[in-house]
Amino acid sequence: MSAPNNNQRHTIAVLVDNEPGVLARVVGLFSGRGYNIESLTVAETKPEAGVSRITIVTSGTIQIIEQIKNQLRRLVPVHTVSDLTIEGPHVERELALVKVSGTAGRVESLRIADIFRARVVDSTNESFVFEIVGRPDKLEAFIKLMKPLGLVDVARTGVVAIARGPQAL
């Protein structure tokens, strides 16, 4: 009998100075301790202040997640570390480009895309490229339905997330 899996998925937002080597230090923290990164996005959010936001989706036990957050807080130049999963309601989105080929399932592909509110951003006689935005589970469901219709390729951005309400990170 195996032990129960107490891993939980967490979305962590980190504000850092936008300077060379910061992302390498954050990723090094994860790889050096054997933690997995399920999704990673980085973008400058306050150009005037030289601040970037790193959004990391990871999983682990409560103790591992606490370790990750504490170790992130000790990194220089980290300003704030927020675990959006436990700090209250938040919004998560991801973008994917999904290429489907073939002519047999064209009508079905378009019908499913319409249901999922995916947009056709490129079309040839042999293929479509759909753009879909939503929660990661919505993207997974769309991709799963496209597999039997001729799924060729998928490119995903990774999760971006923001807390609900008037407060900033």
Please indicate, yes or no, whether residues 77 and 128 belong to a single structural domain of this protein: no
Quick check: pTM over 0.75?
yes
Q: Measure CA 143 to chain center.
A: 15
Distances (CA, A) of 162 to 16, 52, 54: 16, 14, 11
Pair type for strands 51-60 and 37-46: antiparallel
One domain, residues 16 and 79: yes
On whether both 12 and 72 belong to a single domain, the answer is yes
| Domain-located, residue 109 | yes
If asked whether residues 136 and 107 sit together in one domain, one would say yes
22 and 77 both lie in a single domain: yes
Residue 4 has a pLDDT of 57
Please tell me whether residues 155 and 112 are part of one structural domain. yes
CATH number at residue 39: 3.30.70.260
Any domain includes 16: yes
> Which domain does 24 fall in, by range?
8-83
Please indicate, yes or no, whether residues 122 and 78 belong to a single structural domain of this protein: no
**How many independent structural domains does the chain possess?**
2
Model pLDDT, residue 2: 47
Q: pLDDT for 3-29, tens place per residue?
A: 556 889 999 999 999 999 999 999 999
> Is 101 a domain residue?
yes
Q: Supply the pLDDT for residue 105.
A: 81
Q: Which range has the worst mean pLDDT, 5-9, 34-38, 120-124, 129-133? A: 5-9
**CATH number, position 151:** 3.30.70.1150
Residue 78 lies in a domain: yes
13 and 79 in one domain?
A: yes
Handedness of CA 54, 60, 62, 65 (dihedral sign): negative
User: Which pLDDT belongs to residue 60?
Assistant: 92
Determine the pLDDT at residue 126. 92
Final residue belonging to a domain, choices 55, 83, 111: 83
Torsion region of 150: left, alpha or beta (phi above 0 gives left; psi -120 to 50 gives alpha): left
- If pLDDT is split at 50, 70 and 90, which confidence band does 88 have? confident
